[in-house]
Structure 1
Amino acid sequence: MSHRLHAFEAIDNFRDYGDYATAAGRRIRPGRLLRSGHHARASDADLERLKGFGLGAVVDLRRPGERRDQPSRRHDGFDALVIEGGIDDGAEAPHITFLKTADLTPDSGRRFMTQTYRSLPFDAAHIDVFGRYFQALGQMGGDQDRPVLIHCAAGKDRTGFLAALTHHLLGVRHDDLIEDYLLTNTAVDLVGRAPAIARRLHEMTGRVASDDAVVAFLGVEAAYLDAAFAEVEARYGSLDAYLEQALGVDAALRARIEARLSA
């Protein structure tokens, strides 16, 4: 089990995505960049442990409807900046629609995930929250030099893309970036949990999914992230251009982020 993973009772996929070498010969500071699944089911012990991290900001990438259905639990004295999206189209989350209507096979799961990643970087709600996240990274320092935690529902897709984009900005090698992204599959132990998840899907939708289909849909594969990056490059020319033009990460902000997070 990776030293990056932090075990909680009811918060999935909690880990540190700092502490990687960068192309500039520096290293991302550990303990400043954290990621996880949602906190709606956090136990009291989980909340006490979260309190110990001294979070300065929490970036919730979920849709407003997701937040209403599963509101985050907070510990006493919680004072972190909360960054969340306000765009609510009232539509059902795409993954729920998929689970209710599509053939639940490994191939259909992979097709759905690949298409999801191709569109993910361009969703107006994502662009808004991603941009505010990078602004927060650049503004926090001095007495406010506290960790930032990003999460969505499972902490794997929206969170995974944003963590990978952060790694790119900071100059993390592509192989390390992919390794960190794929760590979700270890953190969540999908193979071991697939049968129970399949049963819950059947209870929720009345439809049967094989264990392999569950793993394909609820796990991550390098091809998914590659699809997102390729689409960004096709539309903007490069990830750096996307960061600047879509998310507002200009040279000055980039320098502040690098200064704060690199050692």
Structure 2
Amino acid sequence: MLTPQRLLALDEGINFRELGGYETVDHRHIKWHKLLRAGELHFLTQKDIDNLTSYGVRYNVDLRSNSEVNAMHDPYLPNAEYIQAPVYPFECDRNLAIWQKIKEHFRERQQANQNHTHLTSLDETYIKMVTDPHALAAYRQLFTTLLANDTDGQAVIFHCTAGKDRTGVAAIMIEHALNLPLATIKNDYLLTNVIINDTLDDINQLRQQVNVPDNIGNLVNQMNNESIGQMNFDIINNTVLDSWHNWHNYFNDALQLSDRELNDLQTIYLE
């Protein structure tokens, strides 16, 4: 039986974490047994699967691409509905006009704020994750699932490969929607570095063994070779604030979440 705690004690879980217990700005708390973030599930043992079933997992939202899923499929989790919501491939990688428009807007906001930071390829990937139409559709699907998970004691897992980039962005979105303090959101994001750095080489070796043979595989390997940091967090947060002024506007406009849905999320996940 799994004990509710920040890092769940699974034999082969990668970066498998509970979001329960985090305190909001208005002093409520995220319920336990509701929100789980993770990396790769492919190597979970039968004991791990049994423990997750007992823990109340009802939905498994897989943020990985088709090629990743085909190469390293998730195990069957009894009682859990599997939902694939791939963040990659980015639409703006197929339609450069979309990316050019996003990048020009980002540059304009940088100039207005007298910020002239050079964008690395990793920075650009994070900007795309919170602005690209394909990525936004994936995250909207995640929120649709979160809204369906309205029974106490039933949990949603959302995961990618390492549980740090696509999953990290998802966690930032969810925690903003639940009104957590910025410092708490940042600390949860950076907690990945404490947990996962020793396992990144193992993850990449496993990926090479199963061979994800496309540009997405290359992108994922590149992302997994990088630790996350304060600058990555700032890029995500500043992209939203520069373009939408606040996270509430971002949820309404970019993710098409109504005020009623945002209120419902807080009712479902907070106590």
Q: Say if 2:60 is the partner of 1:52.
A: no
Give the Cα–Cα distance (whole angstroms) in 1 for the partners of residues 140 and 251 of structure 2.
Answer: 8
1:186 aligned partner: 194
Equivalent position to 1:34, from 29, 36, 47? 36
1:176 aligned partner: 184
TM superposition shift of 1:20: 1.1
TM superposition shift of 1:68: 0.9
Give the Cα–Cα distance (whole angstroms) in 1 for the partners of residues 228 and 82 of structure 2.
Answer: 27
Moved beyond 3 Å, runs of 4+:
86-91, 192-204, 214-218
Give the Cα–Cα distance (whole angstroms) in 1 for the partners of residues 145 and 165 of structure 2.
Answer: 21
Give the Cα–Cα distance (whole angstroms) in 2 for the partners of residues 145 and 222 of structure 1.
Answer: 33
Q: Say if 2:119 is the partner of 1:117.
A: no
Q: How many residues align?
A: 231
Give the Cα–Cα distance (whole angstroms) in 2 for the partners of residues 39 and 139 of structure 1.
Answer: 22
Contact residue 127 and residue 247 of structure 1 kept, 8 A: yes
Give the Cα–Cα distance (whole angstroms) in 1 for the partners of residues 206 and 153 of structure 2.
Answer: 41
Q: Say if 2:82 is the partner of 1:82.
A: yes
- Give the letter for the 1:167 counterpart: E
From the superposition, tell whether residues 87 and 155 of structure 1 become closer, same or farther in structure 2 (CA, over 3 Å).
closer
What is the TM-score when the length of structure 1 is the normalising length? 0.77
TM superposition shift of 1:126: 2.1
Give the Cα–Cα distance (whole angstroms) in 2 for the partners of residues 238 and 49 of structure 1.
Answer: 39
- Give the letter for the 1:125 counterpart: H
2:146 aligned partner: 137
- Give the letter for the 2:35 counterpart: L
Contact residue 85 and residue 142 of structure 2 kept, 8 A: no
- Give the letter for the 1:132 counterpart: Q
Give the Cα–Cα distance (whole angstroms) in 2 for the partners of residues 200 and 254 of structure 1.
Answer: 38
1:245 aligned partner: 253
Equivalent position to 1:4, from 3, 6, 15? 6
TM superposition shift of 1:16: 0.5
Give the Cα–Cα distance (whole angstroms) in 2 for the partners of residues 167 and 37 of structure 1.
Answer: 18
From the superposition, tell whether residues 256 and 198 of structure 1 become closer, same or farther in structure 2 (CA, over 3 Å).
closer
1:255 aligned partner: 263
Contact residue 162 and residue 203 of structure 2 kept, 8 A: no
Unaligned runs of at least 5 residues, structure 2: 94-118, 212-221
Unaligned runs of at least 5 residues, structure 1: 94-109, 205-213
Q: Secondary structure at the match of 1:218?
A: coil
From the superposition, tell whether residues 111 and 245 of structure 1 become closer, same or farther in structure 2 (CA, over 3 Å).
same
Instruction: Give the CA RMSD over aligned residues.
Output: 3.1
Q: Secondary structure at the match of 1:35?
A: strand
- Give the letter for the 2:79 counterpart: D
Equivalent position to 2:225, from 213, 217, 221? 217
Greater displacement, 47-56 / 62-71: 47-56
